[in-house]
């Protein structure tokens, strides 16, 4: 059984916890896109693991982990995570594989991300400044790109970096008046990266196909959320990869039909970090309540997240483009204490009611949510283990979401721990 887990909102849905639970029944966990802009938090017992690049399943000692071709990999971050796990007694030896075709994020990508965002002023995207967009741009541009396979031949890589830095220095100087950077310093860093990471580099497409042919169970882990997808999200306020499940086939070389089940992760409300349209945003005491109750601050950047009501139009879109079979609804406990809850079941755009999400931001800017109001509950849900034991209004809230989105909710989260998950 091969499963894909993907976020259906603007990221931060809690995929890390879901992957960690499902990894128990899997042989291999695969990251197929994004980079260290992602932040996956997993809580086991009293220990909190925050991972940006390693698949969330990596904390389970018996699961193989793959970083596939469409991931943009920051070696510094990855080495930090490998070391962090080793310090906690978790070894990746013999069970970790990096695609030779994955592109490498280097210092000049992070510099470019920052310089570009600063120069955009009020039009900035609000990126994580992790060099994601510039690295993907170099990949598409082809001539100035570094891939993990390049770490196998350091002489060739040094020559390539000389050419790249000559180009980048000219570009950054002309556009932003930036000081040049010596290629030598980056070459030295790459030598260290190669020493630590080259042993893990391989042809992951072959590895994945061999695993599937051998009857292994694979878990594909999406990063960010479907509404941040470069092609299908709220462009330009998106990330630079196909973060919906549509990115899976090209992101790791496994065809979509080889995946048996697509699971969509959602929060019981909506959040967004960075700029861009957000029809159900509550920039008021409701939004503040959700942010504090749900600890809605970025795992990667620490930024306060924008918070709002559950947007069923946006989630239904994620379900449709993502071929989603079932939902995992997290953070239900966060809503305890709100008198009433609103759910956007449609948008009104130019006087017309629409239930298909317009990803085009000019149309989305005109969308007025059409809300349904449901009664809230006061009870603390964090100790509830059975769906039937949830307050009647909480059960009704989940059921109504299932109805509007037309997809069953298979798991409900009532707290950050693995144990605080209700299976249905």
For ligand IMP, which is the closer residue by CB, 10 or 96? 10
Site residues for ligand IMP, 366-385, by CB under 6 A, read none
Residue window 9-28: x/- pattern of binding to ligand IMP, with contact defined by CB under 6 A: --xx----------------
How many amino acids of this chain bind ligand IMP (CB under 6 A)?
A: 19
134 binds ligand IMP (CB under 6 A): no
Considering beta carbons, is residue 69 or 239 the nearer one to ligand IMP? 239
The answer to whether 103 contacts ligand IMP (rule: CB under 6 A) is: no
Sign of CA pseudo-dihedral 59, 60, 61, 67: negative
Listed residue (328, 341, 310, 337) closest to 422, CA to CA: 328
The residue count of the chain comes to 424
Distance between CA atoms of 147 and 73, rounded to whole angstroms? 9
Interaction of residue 240 with ligand IMP, rule CB under 6 A: yes
Q: Does 106 bind ligand IMP (CB under 6 A)?
A: no
Question: Is 27 noted as a catalytic residue in this protein?
Answer: no
Residue from 15, 111, 130, 331 binding ligand IMP (CB under 6 A): 130
In angstroms, the CA 373 to CA 309 distance is: 10
Residues 6 or more apart whose CB falls under 8 angstroms from that of 372 comprise 342, 343, 345, 400
Query: Is 273 a binder of ligand IMP (CB under 6 A)?
Result: yes
- Out of 20, 27, 40, 209, pick the active-site residue: 40
Is 59 a residue that touches ligand IMP (CB under 6 A)?
Answer: no
For ligand IMP, what does the binding mask look like between residues 189 and 228, x meaning CB under 6 A? Answer: -----------------------------------x---x
Q: Which two tokens stand for residue 129?
A: 């400044």
Nearest to 335 by CA among 272, 284, 398: 398
Q: Is there a catalytic annotation at residue 12?
A: yes
With contacts defined by CB under 6 A, name the span among 16-24, 34-42, 147-155, 244-252 that binds ligand IMP.
34-42
Please state the closest distance from residue 229 (CB atom) to ligand IMP, in A: 10
Q: Verify binding: residue 126, ligand IMP, rule CB under 6 A.
A: yes
Q: In angstroms, rounded to a whole number, what is the distance separating the alpha carbons of residues 282 and 11?
A: 17
The phi, psi pair for 155, rounded to 5°, reads -65, -45
**Which of 43, 59, 105, 132 lies at the binding interface for ligand IMP (CB under 6 A)?**
132
Burial tier of 10 (Cβ tally within 10 Å: 0-12, 13-18, 19+) = buried
Closest of 246, 243, 264 to residue 255, by C-alpha:
246
Closest distance to ligand IMP from the beta carbon of 334 (Å): 17
Question: Site for ligand IMP (CB under 6 A): which residue of 99, 204, 226, 239?
Answer: 239
- Name which of 211 and 263 has its Cβ closer to ligand IMP: 263
CB of 233 to ligand IMP, least distance (A): 9
Please say which residue, 125 or 266, places its beta carbon nearer to ligand IMP. 125
Q: Give the nearest distance from C-beta 125 to ligand IMP in angstroms.
A: 5
CB of 115 to ligand IMP, least distance (A): 14
Structure tokens belonging to residue 71: 């991931």
Q: Which two tokens stand for residue 84?
A: 């962090």
Candidates 61-69, 123-131, 257-265, 320-328 — which segment interacts with ligand IMP by CB under 6 A?
A: 123-131
**Which residue lies nearer to ligand IMP by CB, 6 or 422?**
6
Distances (CA, A) of 378 to 163, 291, 299, 394, 412: 62, 17, 28, 10, 18
- Least distance to ligand IMP, CB of residue 274, Å: 2
Chosen residue from 14, 55, 57, 133 binding ligand IMP by CB under 6 A: 133
CB 29 to ligand IMP: min, Å? 17
Q: Which member of 2, 9, 37, 58 binds ligand IMP (CB under 6 A)?
A: 37
Interface positions with ligand IMP (CB under 6 A): 11-12, 37-39, 125-128, 130, 132-133, 224, 228, 237, 239-240, 273-274
The residues annotated as belonging to the active site are 12, 40
């Amino acid at each position: 059984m091969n499963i894909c887990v993907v976020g259906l909102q603007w990221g931060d849905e809690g995929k890390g916890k879901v992957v960690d639970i499902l990894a128990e029944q899997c042989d291999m966990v695969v990251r197929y896109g994004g980079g260290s802009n992602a932040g996956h938090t997993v809580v086991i017992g009293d220990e909190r693991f925050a991972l940006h690049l390693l698949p969330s399943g990596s904390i389970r000692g018996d699961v193989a982990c793959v970083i596939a071709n469409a991931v943009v990999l920051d070696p510094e971050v990855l080495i930090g995570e490998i070391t962090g796990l080793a310090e906690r007694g978790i070894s990746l030896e013999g069970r970790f594989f990096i695609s030779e075709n994955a592109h490498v994020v280097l210092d000049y990508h992070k510099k470019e991300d920052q310089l570009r965002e600063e120069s955009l002023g009020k039009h900035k995207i609000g990126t994580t400044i992790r060099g994601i967009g510039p690295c993907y741009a170099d990949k598409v541009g082809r001539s100035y790109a570094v891939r993990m396979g390049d770490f196998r031949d350091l002489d060739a890589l040094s020559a390539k970096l000389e050419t790249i830095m000559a180009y980048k220095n000219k570009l950054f100087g002309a556009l932003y008046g930036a000081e040049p950077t010596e290629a030598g310093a980056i070459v030295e860093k790459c030598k260290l990266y190669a020493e630590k990471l080259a042993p893990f580099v391989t042809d992951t497409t072959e590895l994945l196909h061999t695993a599937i042919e051998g009857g292994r169970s694979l878990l594909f882990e999406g990063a960010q959320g479907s509404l941040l997808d470069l092609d299908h999200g709220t462009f330009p306020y998106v990330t630079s990869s196909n973060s919906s499940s549509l990115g899976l086939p090209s992101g790791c070389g496994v065809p979509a039909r080889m995946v048996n089940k697509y699971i969509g992760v959602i929060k019981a409300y909506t959040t967004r970090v960075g700029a861009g349209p957000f029809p159900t945003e509550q920039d008021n005491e409701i939004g503040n309540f959700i942010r504090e109750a749900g600890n809605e601050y970025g795992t990667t950047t620490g930024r306060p997240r924008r918070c709002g009501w559950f947007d069923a139009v946006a989630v239904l879109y994620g379900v449709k483009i993502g071929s989603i079979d079932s939902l995992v609804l997290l953070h239900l406990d966060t809503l305890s204490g709100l008198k009433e809850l609103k759910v956007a079941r449609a948008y009104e755009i130019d006087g017309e009611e629409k239930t298909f999400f317009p990803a085009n931001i000019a149309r989305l800017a005109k969308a007025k949510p059409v809300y349904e109001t449901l009664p809230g509950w006061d009870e603390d849900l964090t100790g509830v283990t059975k769906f039937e034991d949830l307050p009647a209004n909480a059960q009704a809230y989940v059921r109504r979401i299932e109805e509007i989105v037309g997809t069953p909710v298979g798991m409900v989260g009532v707290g950050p721990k693995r144990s605080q998950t209700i299976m249905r």
